[in-house]
Amino acid sequence: MKIYTVGGAVRDQLLGLPVKDHDHVVVGATPEDMLRQGFRPVGKDFPVFLHPKTQEEYALARTERKTAPGYRGFVFHTAPDVTLEDDLVRRDLTINAIARAEDGTLTDPFGGIEDIRNKIFRHVSDAFGEDPVRILRLARFAARFHTFTVAPATLALMRRMVADGEVDALVAERVWQEVAKGLMESHPSRMLTVLHECGALARIMGEITLSERLLQVVDHAAAQGHDLPVRFAALMLRMSKDAIEQLSERLRVPNECRELAVMAARERDHINGALALSAEAVVSLCERCDGLRKPQRFAQLLQAVACDGLVTGDFPQAARLQGGLDAARAVNAGALAQGCAEPKRIPEVIHAARVAAVQAFLAQA
């Protein structure tokens, strides 16, 4: 039995980056061998085990064979005679197909070290073309390693995969999972660009029209360190409500992302023009966006719209609206409701009190 560290841990160490997760391949072992050493089985489709102490994943070396369209149509084979090279050749990119032995020796049968040096994404073999998820993964890697370029042969293969309909077989949850990860990288614009170049963007997110401005906006959201709902809203800001709803429903986008995106697109002009809004308009905006009940989401809304203007410093519109919201929330609605002699007028009384509070705030601002 021989154990090797593979994949991202080796790649990131060679790049001089912090290593977060360690994946291991075990050559020359059976599932029974792993169980005898205290490993806990967790794999469903093929034998994967958790180390009894570190809880890191150890997978038996395996080969795979395509049997159906999409990323699920594979049959896996594991046996003690499956070699390390047999296992590495099924991996997506050369930079992810490097193995490190326990003594530190590197095995690099496909030139991954050279591609790291030259900053190139290159597929290991034609097996790349059998799994459409690899297009999404490569695009996500481009968002992380934004100075890398896609090898011409790899880009041509990705285009053939799109033309052959492989991308159409992807399930929505997996598409969103990879897109969300890419949005959370340092340069999400690179993910969008790569997907566009191979034709996959039109298939999975056809509602998006790429422009230089949009690429700047999503990278700006990333540079500000915003969370996923804000980054997704920044991506959707120039789209119609119907288009956002359509894309979100198809990709099963989480509600917190979808709702913020719809709200930001709807309120973008009002927020950008907030310095001219009256107290009445500010309160109406806060109420319309449910900011009184969800102040954190209201803050995310302001962040998303600020990205549209590539704002890096103060955003006076946000300060005005956030201060107005705080003033409106400070109104004791419960006390006003109890003191109102006409129950039907309670909403009107509370709204008027909030407008007065915001008016006082604006007068002092």
Segment 178-202, tens digit of pLDDT? 999 999 999 999 999 999 999 999 9
pLDDT at 158: 97
Q: What's the pTM?
A: 0.87
Residue 45: the pLDDT is 63
Query: According to the model, what pLDDT value does residue 64 have?
Result: 67
Rounded to an integer, the average pLDDT of 124-144 is 95
Q: Given pLDDT bands bounded at 50, 70 and 90, which one contains residue 87?
A: confident
Is the pLDDT confidence value at 97 over 60? Answer: yes
Q: Check whether 136 has a pLDDT greater than 80.
A: yes
Residue type, 210: L
pLDDT in tens, 9-41: 999 999 999 988 888 998 888 888 888 888 888
pLDDT digits (tens, 9 = 90+) for 249-278: 999 999 999 999 999 999 999 999 999 999
Does residue 204 contact residue 195 with C-beta atoms inside 8 Å? yes
Mean pLDDT of 327-342: 86
pLDDT above 70 (res 320): yes
pLDDT at 77: 67
Average pLDDT over residues 336-350: 83
What pLDDT is recorded for position 355? 95
Average pLDDT of the residues in 62-83: 64
**C-beta of residue 80 within 8 angstroms of C-beta of residue 90:** no
Question: Quick one: what percent of the chain has pLDDT higher than 90?
Answer: 69
Closest CA to 320 of 265, 346, 287, 282: 282
Average pLDDT over residues 47-76: 72
For residue 95, is pLDDT > 90? yes
Give yes or no for residue 70 having a pLDDT over 80: no
Higher pLDDT, 77 or 123: 123
Task: Please provide the average confidence, as pLDDT, over all residues in the chain.
Answer: 91
Q: Residue 365 and residue 359: Cα distance in Å, rounded?
A: 10
What is the CB-side half-sphere exposure of residue 121 using CA atoms within 13 A? 27
CB–CB of 207/239 below 8 Å? yes
